[in-house]
Structure 1
Amino acid sequence: MHRSLMSIFSLLLAILLATLPFSSAIQLIESKSLSPCQDNSNFTASLFNVVFTPENRTLGFDVVGVSSISGNVTAELRVIAYGFTAMREVLDPCKMPDLKGLCPMNTGQIDLNSNIQVSPDVIKAIPKLAYTVPDLDGTVRIYINNTDGASVACVEAQLSNGKTVNHKAVGWITAVIAGLGLLASAIASGLGHSNTAAHVAANALSLFGYFQAQAMTGMIAFRLPPIVLSWTMNFNWSMGIIKVDFMQKIFTWFQQSTGGTPSTLLSELSTTSVSIQKRSAEFVHKLLMRAYYQSVPRSNKNSAINEVNQLVVVTGIKRISFKANIEVTNLFMTGLSFLIIFVVMVALGVAAFKGFCEAAVKFQWMKREKFLDFRDNWKTVLKGIMYRLVIIGYPQMAVLCLWELTVVDSPAEVVLALFFFFSMTAILSWACWKVYQIAKRSIHKNPADLLFSDNDILNRWGFLYVQFKATAYYFIGPVLLYILLKAMFISFGQKKGVVQAVALVLIELAALVAVSYFRPWMDKRTNIFNISICAINLLNAIFLLVFSNVFNQPHIVSGVMGVVFFVINAAFALVLLILVLVSSFLAIASKNPEVRYERMQDDRASFIKSQTQLALPTELNALGATARGDKDPRGYEEMGPISSGPGSKNQYESSLAHPPLTAGSTRHLANKEQPHSPVDSSGPYNDAHSGQTPMYSDGYQANERLLTGRSATGSPSPYGRGGGTHPYQQQQSNYSGSWHVGAGYDH
């Protein structure tokens, strides 16, 4: 069994790796940034582009730097891969024709632009894995020593082989499958499969949350192993970080028009060196300032300060923006705009689907009972969908809005950040309080009777609690607090990477302990799904703590753990995607997908009302709808609510044993031959209306009154829409309890 599981795991991982187009079929090693690696380094570079191609044995470089070194020097070259020094060689510029300009070195600016032929021995010394492993964690480090052997400068460059696990195809696949899960749950709900819809929606939302957690991992403010950073970049779409060229121009114009100063880093890469540094940006900037400031004459100090600003170091959220090819000052508006676009597109899609359903019924392309609940209550359903989109977009906006308050791209953007953060937080907080108030009115131990009996409440607020057990409806509160705490540490801690790492470990540990203890989700399968995600999130937080170098471990440990991080999360993401994809397909394709899921232990199915699940004859449809408080399937007025509690199930099943009520089959009713019906003709209705036509004395009149809300005389009935309380409701409450009081019908 163990061996078969390992085989399945290996197969899944192989499939995932096969779907990752690592790009770049040409073998090469390149670097595009140079940064100092020791204090008091006497050499800095504002531009550094180096490309090595083994096929033609060419090393091409374009370097612009500033040196405060004079005299003859030697250079010690070290090539480091995953913390292991693969090559060490001493170079003497005076013995190398291509570097004669550095013999001797002079103070001032140094421009190098040349191609060097590399000897075959050097090429053979480079292992083949250096050209094939994606997101190579390699560094070339150069120590410049004077004639006494003392190091006067140290610079290092990150190496890349052009292959990466970050690819648009991965982002599209994950986004489409997550979207299919949400769409499948909506279709299943419209078809009346409420249990299936709840399970698929819960898994899809949890999958979406896992993707957002992966994207947040890449926003941590310290150096990450290249493979970790590239993998997390695949999920930037879940945070709204998507580049569209014409939108970027609009954001730049908006920022300029509102008093901000747009960043131009991406347009200045030909003259600016950008370093994704393992140390903090503040430390590196001070280091470069000091080195460059000491290298120029006193009269040029001011110009030196301006020049050193071209040495840009990015980390954390700014690093994500740079890697996504988005100007950092446009990042907030990018995330905000895509959330708004997503909300508008979904609203238009719901409205269009409503129109299609009505047209399909009118032209008889679709049966009248299909999507009946949605067609009758589509506005309430739309409100519920809008709330769902708010909770989906809350993690991204919490991070980006709070971060915007620290960078202040423009006054108008700060106002937008405050408005959207506080409005979304207030909306979700108010929704949680509303659900709490509704559930608190329950007189039973099980609040499912109130939370699931009223379609308006279920459609509008159900997104907060349907994924949980009815008794754990409150758990959405801790979930929102968990999201908010993570967002605060990620956005406000951009200069304190270690603090971020420690805080995330504590937050994820608390989350895992809470969900493992309470197990709040609706059933065992869903609990396992979500507890597994929490466990992986905690493991990732521990990885981040190691990557922060708080333990001062050898670099090879971080390099190896980076590969392990990718393997674990790639395999786990693949398993989640397959599970959600299969459940989504079965929810739409199966004739009865409900049989795949166990019955809820909180008895919510006893209270959920759905007309589409009935198969009653025409006349009994009206009686069944009345007994559940629904609208008649044929579009007649809604009758007064009648309990659909535990006692109503037997009444409903007994009613199926009798023939349909017709004008020719009502004689037994007139003779007081009582069927097993939810309506008792001997109830207070007849006592209160003595002398009038007895209830059900005529089948046509009875059904006429039930379906139209009018009395036998044709006058409006007091028990139609907006009428008073039907006496039968009082009678029925004596039979099945008063659980329906306060369930939304009394206001």
Structure 2
Amino acid sequence: MRLLAQLSYLLALVAFLPLATAVRLLKSTSLIECMADSNFTASLFEVTFFPDNRSLALDINGMSDISGNVTAELRVTAYGFTAAMETLNPCELNIEALCPMQAGPIPLSTSLTVSESVIKEIPSIAYTIPDLDGQVFVYINSTDTGERIACLEASLSNNQTVYQKAVEWVVAIIAGLGLVASAITSGLGHSNTAAHVAANALSLFGFFQAQAMIGETAVQMPPIVESWTQNFQWSMGIIQVGFLQTIATWYQRATGGEPSTLLSNLATTSVNVQKRWLDAGAVLYNRSLNLLQKRDSSGGDTLTVTVTGLERVGFKADMERTNIFLTGLIWFVVFVSFTTIGVAAFKGICELLVKYKKMPSDKFQDFRNGWKIVMRGILFRLTLVGWAQMCTLCFWELVERDSAAEVVLAVIMWLSMAVVLAWAAFKVITLARRSIAMHKNPAYILYSDPACLNKWGFLYVQYRATAYYFVIPVLGYLLLKGLFIAFGQNAEVVQAVAFLIIEAAFLVAVSVIRPWMDKRTNIFNISIAACNFLNAIFLLVFSNVFNQPGTVTGVMGIVFFIYNAAFALVLLILVLIASIYAIVSKNPDMRYQPMRDDRGSFIKSNSALNTELDALANTARGGGEMELKSTAYHPAYEDESNSLSSGNGASVNHHHDISKAPPSPIDPSVPLFPSHAPPSYDSNGYGNDIERSRSPGQLGDFNPASALAMQNYRQQHNSSPWQRGAGYDH
């Protein structure tokens, strides 16, 4: 418990330390019009207020069509509350550029002193709460007629944010540690631990991607939600590196595209990160303004640009809109390449260590003997990990069309991944059905053939044997979310409703089917699905479909951040502890109960030939000499060309001769299932209680001469290893 408290404190300190050390201020860097036919625009708008010395610094480059004396009504709102109201007279404040106002350019750079009464009206929490959801409305009225001639809106910030690079690094390292720990424990022969750690690490990564996808929608979310989801955009490949942006821009120009120059024109362009609008008329006006101005960021006469959805994510990451797709694609390729190089290097290091007798020859023996098949399985797993990322970015590129070559890349990349995953899913389903037809158990072929397990296991090892098909709903679930993000950037309500329906359907499916390998993993993943569904409800509220007050939206934004941060922290700690335990423990499998789908009885390990199954099988036969090879071992499984996963056994052939099928990995003299009646499975894929209660002597021909030896063996091992492998300890 003390370790958990320390980890929690460390992560919280990393996330919020910058918030406690910053100088108190309020600032705005964008100005937009909030009424039609406004007579004032600004290409540069920077206003900073320091309450400690009561100074207000102004740096404005505007264009005015107003002539004469004016007054300005100032209204400051925070989370829907009106924090302060003030009427300003430029002549009384000695602002020569505005007293009187003249039509034409208005360059203004000055500093003002704010009255003490205004400072007292602003609550102190406005300077400390991260990602302040505040706006300043300035209504310019003619002094002579009293008519309102301009309306301006500026978003407020207090320089405090939950978007921190340290948070990105921490969550990325812990997620990567989980995958590395599962790979190491798998190579050491702890398949049960490896399966659990890998499943949890991949689920954690999937949760990060779900958070990122919320931030990529076009819904006008509170600033704290935008910043929180920005912490996870690395999981979608949106990572800003200077030279990669240069490469992406060069490639687009070289292939006939026109790169965006929004970031390079910030000195003359006011960028508004779209948020809630409080006035219904302003909603319609700003949406129309957004449609007109969004595409003019590459050069034109537009002075104000509003960014939403994926463009907003790219802008917050200091990335040009036209570089988002190619950046994501490059990072995915880099990740796959470095992983491939790392696996090959690890193979070479292991061989050198064994050659020079620095490491036992049986260490990582399965990996060293079949590393090419393992490599293929890893590449398939990386394809699965990148599926959500590529679905979103590739389809979005079809909408953006940054250049003809990038569109071709998007089509080829998505089709390649779709074909690979579809082929892998088809192979798994074919093998499982064949196993059911031949052995009344889908786990038989899926786990007894090492080539099948190493190559296609990434699709089904995290699920129980009878839920081998569940990867298909998962792929469809991610595909639908990517489609609505990519094609719904101008329809925020459609996106919100679609997310709600998709998340609700997925939550119901996983709650009813409970497809994962055991109770603990099901709880882990169903909790993630429930959190994603709750996020979808909040997203629908943020879309303003209920026309709720701004206060409700602001408070819900803070609640969204709090419960997601707490949930992510719990998941990170669980994965971190599991990863550390898997690496440092001598026997990490003791932490997990055996699977209830009999996979442990079928998995063949070349590095542990003298297994408990050998001992039991030899004892049951009455043999006095232990065989050197496992009864589960057969050369047919070692040769990939003869394995069921190579295509020969997986192909559907109704005239197939069962007698030519690969031999059973279990010695027929001690059959796992009764020959007269195969075990029945309940709706959850677990064996019938009557079948589980049968002893090994009842499963085959009973040999009285070996009964005593078998009893002594069981007493030494507490219970039958057959029962342990089949999950009887539950």
Q: TM-score, normalised by structure 2?
A: 0.82
Aligned partner (choices 584, 591, 595) of residue 590 of structure 2 = 595
The secondary structure found in structure 2 opposite 1:26 is coil
Post-superposition CA distance 1:98-139 (Å, at most 9, x none): x23323333333221111122333333332212211111111
SS of 2:258 mapped into structure 1 = coil
1:476-532 residue CA offsets vs partner (Å, 9 max, x unmatched): 000000000000000100011111011000000000000001000011100000000
What secondary structure is seen at the aligned counterpart in 2 of 1:192? Answer: coil
Q: Which residue of 2 aligns with 1:143?
A: 139
- 1:175 maps to a residue whose letter is A
Question: How many angstroms does 1:632 deviate by?
Answer: 12
**Range moving further from structure 2, 454-463 or 61-70:** 61-70
State the SS of the aligned residue for 1:249. helix
Say which SS state the counterpart of residue 441 (structure 1) adopts. helix
Contact 1:285–1:313 (CA under 8 A) maintained in structure 2: no
Q: Which of 574, 582, 598 is 2:569 aligned to?
A: 574
Judge conservation of contact 1:222–1:279 (CA < 8 Å) in 2. Answer: no
Instruction: State whether residues 467 and 521 of structure 1, in contact with CA within 8 Å, keep that contact through their aligned partners in structure 2.
Output: yes
Q: Distance in 1 between matches of 2:97 and 2:256?
A: 47
Deviation at 1:91, TM superposition (A): 1.4
Counterparts of 1:611 and 1:9 in 2: how far apart (Å)?
38
Instruction: Note if contact 1:627-1:641 (Cα within 8 Å) is conserved in structure 2.
Output: no
Is 1:52 aligned to residue 49 of structure 2? yes
CA change 1:68–1:10 in 2 (3 A) is farther
**Contact 1:48–1:64 under 8 Å retained in 2:** yes
SS of 1:459's equivalent?
A: helix
Offset, 1:196: 0.9
Structure-2 separation of matches of 1:631 and 1:567 = 55
- Indicate if the aligned counterparts of 1:62 and 1:114 stay in contact, CA closer than 8 A: yes
SS in 1 for 2:154: strand
Q: After superposition, what is the alpha-carbon deviation per residue over 1:643-666, rounded to whole angstroms, capped at 9, x for unaligned?
A: 223857789xxxxxxxxxxxxxxx
Deviation of residue 264 (structure 1)?
Answer: 1.0
**SS of match in other structure, 2:500:** helix
Give the aligned partner of residue 207 of structure 2. Answer: 210
How far, CA to CA, are the matches of 1:160 and 1:9 in structure 2?
Answer: 34
The whole-number CA distance in structure 1 between the counterparts of 2:582 and 2:291 is 61
2:87 matches 1:90 = yes
The answer as to 2:112 corresponding to 1:116 is yes
Superposed displacement of residue 411, structure 1: 0.7
Aligned twin of 1:726: none
Report whether the alignment pairs 1:359 with 2:352: yes
TM-aligned CA distance change 1:553 to 1:608, over 3 Å: same
Name which of 433, 450, 457 aligns with 2:426: 433
* Structure 2 residue aligned with 1:220: 217
Q: Deviations over 1:560-604 (max 9, x none)?
A: 001000000100000000000111111111111112112211111
Range moving further from structure 2, 394-403 or 106-115: 106-115
Find out whether 1:644 has 2:646 as its counterpart. no
Structure 1, gaps ≥5 residues long: 292-302, 652-675, 681-735, 737-747
Q: Considering only CA atoms, is the larger Rg found in Structure 1 or Structure 2?
A: 1
For 1:662, the equivalent position in structure 2 comes to: none
Aligned residues: 632
Equivalent of 1:624 in 625, 629, 635: 629
Residues 1:588 and 1:517: Cα distance change in structure 2 (over 3 Å): same
Task: Letter of the 1:55 partner, please give it.
Answer: D
Distance 1:17 1:603 in 2: 42
Q: CA RMSD in A?
A: 3.1
The 8 Å contact of residues 626 and 642 in structure 1, kept in 2 or not, is answered as: no
Amino acid at match of 2:286: V
SS in 1 for 2:629: helix
CA distance in 1, matches of 2:609, 2:587: 14
* Counterpart among 368, 374, 379 of residue 372 in structure 2: 379
Aligned residue in 2 for 1:284: 286
> Which residue number in structure 2 is paired with residue 496 of structure 1?
491
Q: Which secondary structure does the structure 2 equivalent of 1:59 belong to?
A: strand
* Deviation of 1:287 (Å): 4.0
- Letter matched to residue 425 of structure 1: A
- Once the two structures are superposed, residues 287-311 of structure 1 have per-residue CA deviations (whole angstroms, 9 ceiling, x without a partner) of 48999xxxxxxxxxxx9x9864131
Counterpart Cα distance in 1 of 2:342 and 2:429: 31
Structure 2 CA distance for partners of 1:318 and 1:282, relative to 1, 3 Å: farther
- 1:264-343 maps to which residues of 2 (within 5 A)? 264-278=261-275, 284=286, 286-287=288-289, 308-343=301-336
Per the alignment, do residues 285 and 573 of structure 1 end up closer, same or farther by CA in structure 2, a change over 3 Å counting?
closer
Question: TM-score, structure 1 length as denominator?
Answer: 0.80
Change (3 A) 1:61 1:367: same
Correspondent of 2:401 among 404, 408, 420:
408
How far does the alpha carbon of each residue in 1:379-435 deviate from its partner, in whole angstroms, 9 at most, with x for none? 000000000000101111111110011111111111100110111111111111111
Give the secondary-structure state (helix, strand or coil) at the position aligned to 2:109. Answer: strand
Question: In 1, distance between residues paired with 2:509 and 2:493?
Answer: 25
Unaligned runs of 5+ in 2: 278-282, 616-623, 644-660, 673-696, 702-721, 723-730
Equivalent-residue separation in structure 1 for 2:424 and 2:139 (angstroms): 61
Distance 1:63 1:649, change over 3 A: farther
Structure 2 CA distance for aligned equivalents of residues 289 and 331 of structure 1: 20
TM-superposition CA deviations, 1:244-299 (whole Å, max 9, x none)? 111111111111111011111111111111011237999537448999xxxxxxxx
Structure 1 residue 540 and structure 2 residue 542: aligned?
Answer: no
Letter in 1 for 2:182: S
Structure 1 residue 526 corresponds to structure 2 residue 521: yes
1:198 aligns with 2:195: yes
Q: Is the 8 A contact 2:290 2:305 kept in 1?
A: no
* 1:40 lines up with 2:40 in the alignment: no
Distance in 2 of aligned mates of 1:351 and 1:334? 26
Q: Retained in 1: the 8 A contact 2:66–2:101?
A: yes
- Aligned equivalents of 1:501, 1:632: Cα separation in 2: 50
Equivalent-residue separation in structure 2 for 1:372 and 1:283 (angstroms): 67
Superposed displacement of residue 622, structure 1:
6.5
How big is each residue's C-alpha offset from its partner over 1:682-704, in whole Å with a ceiling of 9 and x where there is no partner?
Answer: xxxxxxxxxxxxxxxxxxxxxxx
Contact between 1:522 and 1:600, CA under 8 Å: does it hold in 2?
yes
Given the superposition, is the C-alpha separation of residues 423 and 620 from structure 1 closer, same or farther in structure 2, using an over 3 Å criterion? farther
Q: Secondary structure at the match of 1:214?
A: helix
Instruction: Indicate which of 18, 22, 26 corresponds to 2:18.
Output: 22
Contact 2:609-2:630 within 8 A present in 1 as well: no
